[in-house]
Structure 1
Amino acid sequence: MTPADFLFTSESVSEGHPDKVCDRVSDEIVDLYFREALKAGYDTSRVRVACETAATTNQVALLGEMRGPDTITHEMIEDVVRNAIKDIGYQQSGFHWQYLKLHNWLHGQSEDIAAGVDEGTGTYTDEGAGDQGIMFGYASDETDELMPAPISFSHRILKRMAELRHSGERPEFEPDAKSQVTMAYSDGKPIGVDAVVVSTQHRDGLSAGDVRELVRPIIKEVLPDGWLPKEEKLYVNPTGKFVIGGPDGDAGLTGRKIIVDTYGGSAPHGGGAFSGKDPTKVDRSAAYAARYLAKNVVAAGLAKRCTLQLSYAIGVSQPLSINVNLHDTANTDERALEKRLMEIMDLSPRGIRTTLGLNKPIYARTAAYGHFGRQPDNEGGFSWERTDLVDSLKDLVS
């Protein structure tokens, strides 16, 4: 049981964090394969991407296996990588979108893996999951987007800083940044912010005090009125100077920020990263489905909090298990709810991709500021944030 009064902390990292640069590049490769498949008339359900990216000082390496239209060239891949890094804002001597060296070690998909996933092949002839594993979805009524408050505010601080940097209003900021918000809870509800940490890369020549004066009003703008912590609990660049950043300051890898990507530690994580994976990989698609179901449960008023777990075996189409935990906030029976959720959504990999429209170039936009708690867009992005199952669940309210 969680105590009624407590502090809880979550962190976020910006689009220019070394690991997030790699997530963005990997997801740009996923989008490229879907875009080119649509142009070439290639069956998008046959697209396979498992792209890992590594980055360090003026070096980027792509590793992984792919399947898609043969219209995709090394030059096209190089263009999307460089353009992504340019869009993030890296034009520094130690990491520059134009001058970095790109190593492309992508290759074709393993026939053994393909046999387990493609319909009509493998031990089980239905289209199976692209891997085994467990996935979690979570929702809470403590914010409008039904996300935990600490991770939500951590994302908002960095997103606002990035907006000001991109617009030119705050050219002093450089792309690499991290935030951390410690939330105070009373009776299980957020009541204020106890501490905030922001570390941001900045132009040379600024003092720590200069950076604090730039960052403090952004934190105040993002937090609700009266929630700005005491000055001694507001930590801005606590190590002092932060000029060398991004992959020049610390190597980056795809998939190292899985808690930033999800619920900030407020809910379990199955362990699998999202970025760089096409949606046959249930690490990604089933985590989206689990969030979709959990969010609709809370939006329907069946509980104030919902954690939902799914599990899969590689090559097997249907989930091995579903478990719903409503954390003693339920207005319904959890086992009856599990049964209903299985009835209203096909949780096979094909069913998830169809319901959520995942065979599209919608992934690069997920790479920073969280995969959850975002607004569904007109191109099909963040479809798992819809609450269109509410009417199918409301009759379960007891």
Structure 2
Amino acid sequence: MGERGAGGKKGAEGEKGAGSAGEGGKFASRVAFAAAHVVADPFAGNGPGAPAVLDWDATLAHRVRLWDLGFGVAEAMDTAQRGMGLDWAAAAELVRRTAAVAGGRLAAGVGTDHGTDDPLTAYREQLEVVGEAGAQPILMCSRKLAARARGPEDYQRVYAALLEEVDRPVILHWLGPAFDPLLAGYWGSTDVPEATGHFLDLVKAYPDRVDGVKVSLLDAGHEVELRRALPEGVRCYTGDDFHYPELIAGDDVGHSDALLGIFDVIAPAAAEALGALDAGDLARYHEVLEPTVALSRHLFQQPTYHYKTGVVFLSWLAGFQDSFAMVGGLQSARDVVHLGEALRLADLAGLLPDPDLAAARWANLLGVLT
């Protein structure tokens, strides 16, 4: 890893949190990214194992909608089916096309999910693509590194090398095994407190290279402890789709910012709630978000990694895309009972802009499935 803290002495180019395509979001009190889904071309195959082919017009229009609401866009993340149908070729094109129309802050996932065997080399190759697009890098967890690492020192070596080289502050992403079972034991231990210690060692060695950490362990208590232990100036971006209202609201010690897949679904409500938080109206903030929690918990129920099916289903019901199709054929990953409950909860949360359209599309789907 080299001399401990060396990265903190050099300084990445640009101000902390800068270096991303577009301007910052409209929310003053929190940084809020929505991890955006992709819209599959329903006539291009997109079956299991097939190369991903996207409906580019609908995919990009959804991102513009998120920027218009005031969010940053987190691109090519797990919500976009990264590692579950969206291959690196499609992800790289997605990053480039999104950057070309960026109307707000843009960050993009950097991983190792392509042909290069060495995790460090793979990260470097993807960092180059994201950097050329002008997006802020999000260093995603690596299945290749998880499979090869024999201890925390292997994670430290790879990440330290990357943080020494980046030219702008990055977001570090800790995705838990509920979202990807192949990432069990990340950072060198299956014991979460021990893994957290290794993770914090890295962040504290390179505080000026890390804009923030994005934690998706679905453990609110752990997140609060982690954010209190972070170096000054390093943000904690909640990835907890179960406890986001209280984590974003925070306490008398601090708060979490947000990088959430559920914001893809509840964007209008989340925008209103964050606006209320900016105005100091905490009661209104909770009043708006509270009905969305039941929906989020439903969509992210086990197996959690299939939450994307509900995200795309609700986008279709809302009229934001013309078909309920997904890359990898994953529209079949949730059953009709699950989808029906998602519809009910979305309606209760006021998230269906055209209820008649949603009802008609649901009836058509039931006609096929039953």
For Structure 1 versus Structure 2, the TM-score category normalised by the shorter chain is: under 0.3
Higher strand share: 1
| TM-score normalised by length of structure 1 | 0.22
TM-score normalised by structure 2 residue count: 0.23
**Radius of gyration: which is bigger?**
1
